[in-house]
Amino acid sequence: MFKHKYLFLISVLAINCYVPVSQADGYVDNVAHKFYRGFGNLFTGIGEVPKNIVNATNKTNPVVGFTGGLVMGTVDTLARTATGVFDIITSPIPTKSLVQPEYVWSNFNENTTYGYDHGQD
């Protein structure tokens, strides 16, 4: 039994040495990007409120823009914060962003959308 443990350890180490470094770097970069994206969305989701107020005010008038933007911003804040928590928890599985734009500050004039089908590859 003792010999089999050493044989198993040597075979695992030999297989790990065979994996190309480029694949490991890509995976680590994707995992880190997803974790940082989740962390950023978790703590900056509140930025959706002023973003939605400004966007709704620009499309309508200040009264409707403030009230509608406040409601839409609150909903988007909760959703962006939830996607941030989801990204942090599932960061070992690199995937595309659930929220578009990825960060609240990325494109301030663009309305926030959710889901994987953002028309991007």
Identify the burial level of 33 via C-beta atoms within 10 angstroms of its C-beta, where 0-12 means exposed, 13-18 middle and 19 or more buried.
middle
The domain limits of the chain are 39-116
pLDDT of residue 12: 63
pTM given for the model: 0.71
Q: How many CB atoms lie within 10 A of CB 76?
A: 24
- Average pLDDT of adjacent 10-residue blocks, the chain of 121 residues: 66 59 70 90 91 91 90 93 92 87 86 72 46
Secondary structure percentages of the chain, helix, strand, coil, to 5: 70, 5, 25
pLDDT of residue 14: 61
Handedness of CA 27, 29, 48, 118 (dihedral sign): negative
In angstroms, the CA 11 to CA 22 distance is 21
